[in-house]
Amino acid sequence: MSDSLFIPEPAPNECQAHIEFPEQLPVSARREDIAAALNAHQVVIVCGETGSGKTTQLPKIAYAAGRGRKGLIGMTQPRRIAAKSVASRLAEETRTSLGGFIGWQVRFTDQVGRDSRIKVMTDGILLAETQSDPQFRRYDTLILDEAHERSLNIDFLLGYLKTLLPRRPDLKVLISSATLEADRFSAYFNGAPVVEVSGRTYPVEIRWQPPAEKNKVEKGNEKQEPKEEEPDFDAALLHAVDELARKGDGDILVFLPGEREIRDAHESLRKHHPPQTEILPLFARLSIAEQEQIFRPHANRRIVLATNVAETSLTVPGIRYVVDTGQARVKRYSIRNKIEQLKVEKVSQASANQRAGRCGRVADGICIRLYDEQDYQSRPPYTTPELLRSSLAGVILRMKALKLPEIDVFPFLDAPEPKRIRDGQALLRELNALDEAGRLTPIGQQLARLPLDPRLGRMLIAAKEKAVLHEVLVIAAFLSSQDPRDRPMDRQAAADQKHRRFADENSDFVAILKLWQYIAEQNIHRKSQRKFRETLGEDFISARKAREWREVHGQLAAQVKELGWKVGDDLPVVTDQEIKPADYANLHQALLPGLLGNLGLLTDEGLYLGAREMKFLPFPGSGVKKKPKWLMAAEIVETRRIYARTVARIEPEWVEQAGRHLLKISYSDAHWARKPAQVVAALRATLYGLPVVNGRKVHYGPIDPVRAREIFIRSALVEGEYDTRSAFFNQNRRLLKDIDEHAHRARDVRLEIDEQDLYDWFDARIPEGIYNGATFEKWLREAEAGSPKLLHLRREDLLKERGADPHAFPKELDLSGVRFALAYRFDPGAEDDGVTLLVPLPALNQVCAERGDWLVPGLLEEKMTALIKGLPQSVRRAFVPVPEFARAAAQALTPGAGALTDALADFLARTTGQAIPRDAWRPEALTPHLTMNYRVLDENNRILAEGRDLAALRRKLGDTASRSLQQAVAANERDDIGRWDFGDLPERVEVTSGGRQVAAFPALVEEAGQVRLRLLDSPIVAREKHRRGVCRLIWRSFPDLLKQVEKDLAIRLKAAAMQYSLLDKKLGLNDLLADVLYSAARAALPGDPTDLRRQNEFDSAAQTTRPRLTELARETARLTAECLDHGHRLARQLTRPLPAKDAGTDLQGQLQALVYPGFVARLEPARLGHLPRYLKAMEHRLEKMTGHPQRDAQMMRSMAPLLSQWQARCKREIQASGLSAGMETFRWRLEELRVSLFAQELKTPEPVSIKRLEKLWAEL
């Protein structure tokens, strides 16, 4: 009997399904408890032993509880075979067709229809859906079955759901576990309820029958060959089957480690001829038709030979007896070998109990364990999660491919250690799978498709390129399993003699191929399995380990074949003859990319120097006896000494090619080489400290064009070390020789030619990028076509007066890259006494007042003297005598290096230790000639305005100056730019305005959502505009993405935009959206967008940032909305009366300084992330203030001095030249102090206190 429930009122197009709960299944008795828990909680853990019916009944319980109406009920299975089996069973029980009410999906098969309500799939399918449906909107319920297996996919899904569930409160999750670890799942999901279900309904008797050991040595054999002492599972299995057959009817389920063992057992049982018995294999790689045989009705006894796929994933019907070898083939990362190996291991107690639970369902059961009880008790209680026995490099690779969060922040149930994470990331970089930014490279993308150890996968990728895939598969399988060559302690010499036939003098990897070929030949010609074992035993080769090697090879080959790779026939890869040089090179060049950390260079002392200065020797058992200069090893191990195992000779050229991404390159001894007419340097390339290239001569010009150009000019043109037919060269050499002879005759040292003057002369005429004979001659031909005497020296150029210093009172002054003419007048009392800067009207906004304060070198010392004398006496007395301090400062300081008074104060403080407050200076008391005079001229040199107050001149004529420049540059500007197609953008250009050459500053400007190219008159304004324009052009480079993101953000920011408009009625959604997109692009770019001026750099930056734009835009929108929401609430709260009036004023000012029109664009992206915390702290303060107004007032008083000092100085700096970086930093420290004082529970990123800020203020 069973309870049957017909579901009424089916949804449109929904199949009518009968929901039955068989009473014989224990889970049926708890269905109401499970349904109630599911309705009351978002996550429910169902813990039930094998046979409780969890897998088939949980989807139906969920459906009967009302789930599956607003989305699918998704159920995951760890294996494809289980997914199909469970789906078929559910369709049968619900009396529907497969693909209708019950859908299923595995790789390459998708049978989910419009009427499907329950979908069974592999956990890998659901994980892949995170890319197309990150919110799992297709589902209203998810069931993770067999969660106790703790596969990587399960752990990924658990972590993913932990972060998703708060954002999907409507999504329900059932987690099914067959072990007592359910409490861990419950704690992980914040105390989710656990519903326990009993298991089998009949008792199971456990019998312990460890097998006897095999002995390959036959009696009477006088020649004692080595014994392979291993359990004789074949004999033990036959004995157990016979014993169970005598107990009565019922099918037998035998658990074996892998496919090879299943085939061997199948052969043994077939020959044993159990009466009236059908023998069926069961493992994951069987075809669907072969798998379904176990579910078909049968009359005779059936023996099912299965891997651990039948442990929990698949219920084999009719099983009454179980034979358990206690073993399984497990993938585990070898710390010693640094690769993942497939090894046969003992299963855990939990797995053994699962296996035993497979019998006793239809009647009393018997489980025969082919090991003893002491062995069972010594086993770990639970199976190690796959995450903790996997290469973290492989895990990171998989997470990158799935676009999951970074491994160090992903909420794993068992988080890996940080050191293992770093090691995994380092290995992936070594394999060239990750770039420096942590993104997958093309090789990394290929590796992610290979379900293999990353080192082996890297070898196979290279092997495919080198056409040696078959050979490297053999070697990779060998490295993933145990060496089949035995070396008994008492017969080492005999074993070595037998193994010598496989040795190769250059490579142990070639020896592996010879061994493979030998074993394959013996297998082909074997007369029986026993004879095969004996033959191998005579050569000290383990038949069991050889079989495992071949099985691993088959698995690897199958995995690459699934990707469409051609493996080739299983032909002999080497012969007894020497391997051909080309084949040797291709083979080892394919292995090398996976072993770059295991290289060695022979030293003079006979040791090998390895990575990071490690020293080692090849293992004594290696066949490579003649030490090559360079070698690579499969592994480096430390016993009493450090040894390299499985080594081979390699060439450094191979290392350079394979490890190019890891090489550290340096250049030395850059010098001019006359014959090739180029600058050459010695290249040194090291890999983990090993000199792969040492001293190779390379052309230095393309490497460092600036330095190479300097060497070229000095050596080739100044010193004359150049062979050319150009007329200028010989003419110049003759002139220089004549002047030098004249200087000697006149005994006048002033006539000697200074080489630096010659260098400066050539440097001023030869453009950048000319660094060798070829580029110089090409440029010279083009240049002399228009100016034949361009490089011809003149006597007057070389014999100028050297007595006076032309730099003290220059004719021009460079202000921020713009050259302005100077005029001088010595007329005390006159309006223009001193030095006057002549400013063309269009260049008025380009003049830097700070640089003007430095005047010219000839007046600087006098001005510094006057400034120091104007200091208060209490400060000034530290600088006596004043003229000497002024002279020292004038000589030490560089004009234009910041504000003059700041630089002078810093120099004096460093010299004497006496600090000078900023407000101590009195520049207004200086005599007029020590302050720069500015004269603004129109296009006809008429004076428009003049004075020493530059700010006043700009207020008067600044707008006119901008319009004047705009008229001149309008022809060079562009509108509505959609992509960077206008070449490189210089920081400064020369334009003609009013008949004068003035500077203009190109910038990309965002206006009304468009990007325009504008030439501006201020370098500072141009930089600010360009930053935003570049960010907008990044978005416009991807119009489809921009359209999609704008549409998405418009929805996300709809409410926030209404709150934003309350700050300024002129602002709306478009303004907020533009600021969010700007901030997101700025966060995505690796550097300052202002510096992007080359087209190729912009294109590279755009492609680099594209994958992150959507995510960052959403995150910025989230932060923006959160800030505006907090701000809106605070603004409303602050309109009400507060217990402390001063606190209200303080909070009002703080809020206006945090949330204001344009705050998203104004703030650095990183700072925006802190804003919600500051606003939350204000809300906490308001809550606490109601009950403790005195405490709030006390804390306000404690920080009031710091706040008032900062506000006063802030006002002065803004009026002078803008807020300094130190003051900006201090402003945010004050915000952190507020958090610490008023909302300690919100924490601060770093310690902050009144005392710390007082110290910081003193330093400022």
Query: How is residue 1245 annotated by DSSP?
Result: S
Tell me the two tokens of residue 1058. Answer: 């209404």
Query: Cα separation of 520 and 541, whole Å?
Result: 13
**The predicted structure's pLDDT at residue 313:** 62
Q: How confident is the model at residue 337 (pLDDT cuts 50, 70, 90)?
A: low
Percentage of the chain surpassing pLDDT 70?
90
DSSP string over 453-495: -HHHHHHHHHHHHHT-HHHHHHHHHHHTS---B---GGGHHHH
Q: How confident is the model at residue 221 (pLDDT cuts 50, 70, 90)?
A: very low
Angle between helices 1039-1052 and 1095-1133 (to 10 degrees): 10
With 60 as the cut, is the pLDDT of residue 842 above it? Answer: yes
- Asked whether the beta carbons of 595 and 633 are under 8 A apart, the reply is yes
Q: How confident is the model at residue 191 (pLDDT cuts 50, 70, 90)?
A: very high
Amino acid at position 378, single letter: S
Q: Report the b/e string of 328-360 with b at 16+ CB within 10 A.
A: bbbbbbeeebbbbbbbbbbbbbbbbbbbbbbbb
**Range scoring the smallest mean pLDDT among 713-727, 977-991, 1045-1059:** 977-991
**Range scoring the smallest mean pLDDT among 292-301, 502-511, 675-684, 1171-1180:** 292-301
pTM of the entire structure? 0.53
For the chain, count helices (H), then strands (E).
Answer: 46, 34
Nearest to 450 by CA among 340, 307, 600: 340
Residues 820-826: contacts with CB under 8 Å, at least 24 apart: 820/847, 822/856, 823/935
Tell me the two tokens of residue 956. Answer: 């008067």
CB atoms within 10 A of CB 89: 17
Query: Cα separation of 78 and 256, whole Å?
Result: 19
With 50 as the cut, is the pLDDT of residue 853 above it? Answer: yes
With 90 as the cut, is the pLDDT of residue 1211 above it? Answer: no
Chain segment 20-52, per-residue pLDDT in tens: 898 888 889 899 999 999 999 999 999 987 778
**The predicted structure's pLDDT at residue 443:** 93
Q: Identify the sign of the CA torsion 53, 56, 57, 61.
A: positive
**Higher-scoring residue by pLDDT: 278, 228:** 278
Q: What is the mean pLDDT of the chain?
A: 85
Give 700-767 as a 3 state SS string: CCCCCHHHHHHHHHHHHHHCCCCCCCCHHHHHHHHHHHHHHHHHHHHCCHHHCCCHHHHHHHHHHHCC
- Asked whether the beta carbons of 1068 and 1060 are under 8 A apart, the reply is yes
- Asked whether the beta carbons of 211 and 238 are under 8 A apart, the reply is no
Nearest to 909 by CA among 1242, 524, 672, 1260: 1260
Query: Cα separation of 1200 and 604, whole Å?
Result: 71
Q: How confident is the model at residue 971 (pLDDT cuts 50, 70, 90)?
A: low
- Asked whether the beta carbons of 709 and 769 are under 8 A apart, the reply is yes
What's the whole-number mean pLDDT along residues 179-195? 86
- Asked whether the beta carbons of 954 and 1065 are under 8 A apart, the reply is no
Strand partners, 44: 174
With 80 as the cut, is the pLDDT of residue 200 above it? Answer: no
Nearest to 735 by CA among 716, 715, 758, 709: 758
DSSP string over 754-809: PHHHHHHHHHHHSPTT--BHHHHHHHHHHHHHH-TTTT---HHHHS---SS-TTTS
**The predicted structure's pLDDT at residue 1221:** 81
Query: Cα separation of 355 and 430, whole Å?
Result: 42
Query: Cα separation of 1026 and 1023, whole Å?
Result: 5
**Higher-scoring residue by pLDDT: 179, 320:** 320
Amino acid at position 355, single letter: R
Query: How is residue 164 annotated by DSSP?
Result: H
What's the whole-number mean pLDDT along residues 836-842? 88
**Range scoring the smallest mean pLDDT among 711-715, 1108-1112, 1136-1140:** 1136-1140
**Higher-scoring residue by pLDDT: 261, 90:** 90
Q: How confident is the model at residue 335 (pLDDT cuts 50, 70, 90)?
A: low
Query: How is residue 542 annotated by DSSP?
Result: -
What's the whole-number mean pLDDT along residues 63-74? 94
Instruction: Give the N- to C-terminal CA distance of the chain in Å, as an integer.
Output: 85
**The predicted structure's pLDDT at residue 3:** 44
Q: How many CA atoms lie within 13 A of 19 on its CB side?
A: 21
**The predicted structure's pLDDT at residue 693:** 94
With 50 as the cut, is the pLDDT of residue 223 above it? Answer: no
SS3 percent helix, strand, coil of the chain, rounded to 5, is 50, 15, 35
Instruction: Identify the burial level of 16 via C-beta atoms within 10 angstroms of its C-beta, where 0-12 means exposed, 13-18 middle and 19 or more buried.
Output: middle
Tell me the two tokens of residue 913. Answer: 């230790």
Query: Cα separation of 689 and 1081, whole Å?
Result: 39
Query: Cα separation of 1129 and 552, whole Å?
Result: 64
- Which run of H or of E encompasses 1194? helix 1189-1216
**The predicted structure's pLDDT at residue 558:** 86
Give 184-218 as a 3 state SS string: HHHHHCCCCCEEEECCCCCCEEEEECCCCECCCCC
- Which run of H or of E encompasses 821? strand 818-825
Q: What is the dihedral of CA 294, 299, 301, 305, to 10 degrees?
A: -10
Strand partners, 1002: 1015
Tell me the two tokens of residue 387. Answer: 């995450």
Chain segment 490-518, per-residue pLDDT in tens: 787 888 888 888 999 999 999 999 999 98
Nearest to 471 by CA among 392, 567, 399: 567
Chain segment 396-438, per-residue pLDDT in tens: 888 888 888 898 889 988 888 888 888 889 899 999 999 988 8
Nearest to 1176 by CA among 1250, 1225, 1114, 1231: 1231
